[in-house]
A = this chain, B = another copy of it.
């Protein structure tokens, strides 16, 4: 597999990121009241980040016949959910992180109370935003409900939060390969898969197509988290915006910890190869998604 990401895909991701940032800025206006709450929500939401999840949502929606604009409320909502999960993960009672993306974490910048509430408010606003899709006559109301339900499931006790709990419970314990896979698939994979599925479901794709997109999402979701694990071991602190080697120090279960660095890279590559293979069966314009799949693990070299 080609290990360097296609430069065109980097440009496309930057373009999408620009679009998404504009929408996020609009949906959470600086003048919002109470001031401190909006300030905290915006501080974490507009702190950068690759905007990978919303980009996946927009690209899958486009592959299924919608425009970026059609899927934008869901794309922005998913980024809000991702951001809330980071704010809560960073709290002293959880990972107790002082920095995120090179900036003080929310509870360091504001207070623990404000950080908890800013996270809660982002999660809540996300669902309000998804519902706003109903203003778009092109999208069936039923599809909005199905897509929002998928996002809720993927973010909740059977998805991301379930993974986060198992992550906390696994700290400083020897975990099995099976538990590690569960953890990664839930903590990170579920929302990545849901980002793709939201776009596909909004477009009203049929069961066969949806199923293939889901498989694609599951593969790249796991590959993404393995690449993240690898970056934490082998990455450059400046690039990460946080301390490298933090996972090992915190006794976190990781792929390099359980499989070694080289085998972890091989597993991630295989997942991306399989994901791209699945895309070929969809017979839609999925070239960009296939490039994003490659981009996801290009960070791990």
- Write the residues of chain A forming the contact surface with B, with a CB cutoff of 8 angstroms: 32-34, 36-38, 41, 84, 88, 91, 93-94, 107, 111-114, 116-117, 119-121, 123-125, 127-128, 131-132, 134, 140-142, 144-146, 148-149, 152-153, 155-157, 161-162, 164-166, 168-169
Candidates B34, B41, B156; contact of A166 at CB < 8 Å = B34
What is the CA–CA distance of A165 and B34 in the complex, to the nearest angstrom? 7
A145 to B139, CA, bound (A): 13
A165 and B116 form a contact (CB under 8 A): no
Note all chain B residues with C-beta closer than 8 A to A94.
113, 116
Given the known inter-chain contacts A123-B124, A142-B141, please indicate yes or no for A149 contacting B165, CB distance below 8 A: no
Find the B residue at minimum CB distance from A142.
B141
Whether B112 pairs with A157 at a CB distance below 8 angstroms is no
* Minimal beta-carbon separation of A190 from chain B (angstroms): 11
Given B128, B152, B162, which contacts A34 in the complex, CB threshold below 8 Å?
B162
Q: How far is the CA of A38 from the CA of B161 in the complex (A)?
A: 11
Residue of B nearest to A157 (CB): B121
For A36, the chain B residues whose CB sits under 8 A away are 165, 169
Bound state CA distance, A35 and B88, in angstroms?
20
Instruction: Note all chain B residues with C-beta closer than 8 A to A120.
Output: 84, 88, 119-120, 123, 161
Residue contact B141 to A128, C-beta cutoff 8 Å: no
Instruction: List chain B residues, Cβ under 8 A from A91.
Output: 113, 116
Which residue from chain B places its CB closest to the CB of A162 in the assembled complex?
A: B34
Which residues of chain B are within 8 angstroms of A152 by Cβ–Cβ distance? 124-125, 127-128, 131
Would you call A113 and B168 a contact (CB within 8 A)?
Answer: yes
Shortest CB-to-CB span from A154 to chain B, Å, is 9
Tell me whether A37 and B149 are in contact in the complex, defined as CB-CB below 8 angstroms, given that A128-B156, A168-B113 are known contacts. no
Could you pull out 21 A-B pairs where Cβ atoms are within 8 angstroms? A34-B162, A34-B166, A36-B165, A37-B162, A37-B165, A41-B157, A84-B120, A93-B107, A93-B116, A94-B113, A94-B116, A114-B168, A116-B116, A117-B161, A124-B155, A125-B152, A128-B149, A131-B149, A134-B145, A134-B149, A141-B142
Given contacts A125-B156, A156-B121, contact A142 B134 (CB under 8 A): yes
Q: How far is the CA of A153 from the CA of B93 in the complex (A)?
A: 28
For A123, give its contact among B113, B123, B144, B146 (CB under 8 Å): B123
- Report chain B residues within 8 Å CB of A166: 34
Residues of chain B with a CB closer than 8 A to A157's CB: 32, 34, 37-38, 41, 121, 124-125
- B117 with A33: CB separation less than 8 A: no
Quick check: B156 and A124 within 8 Å, CB to CB? yes
Closest 8 CB pairs of A and B: A93-B112, A124-B156, A141-B141, A128-B152, A131-B149, A121-B157, A127-B152, A121-B161
- Find chain B residues with CB under 8 A from A119 CB: 120
| C-alpha gap A161/B162 in the complex (Å) | 24
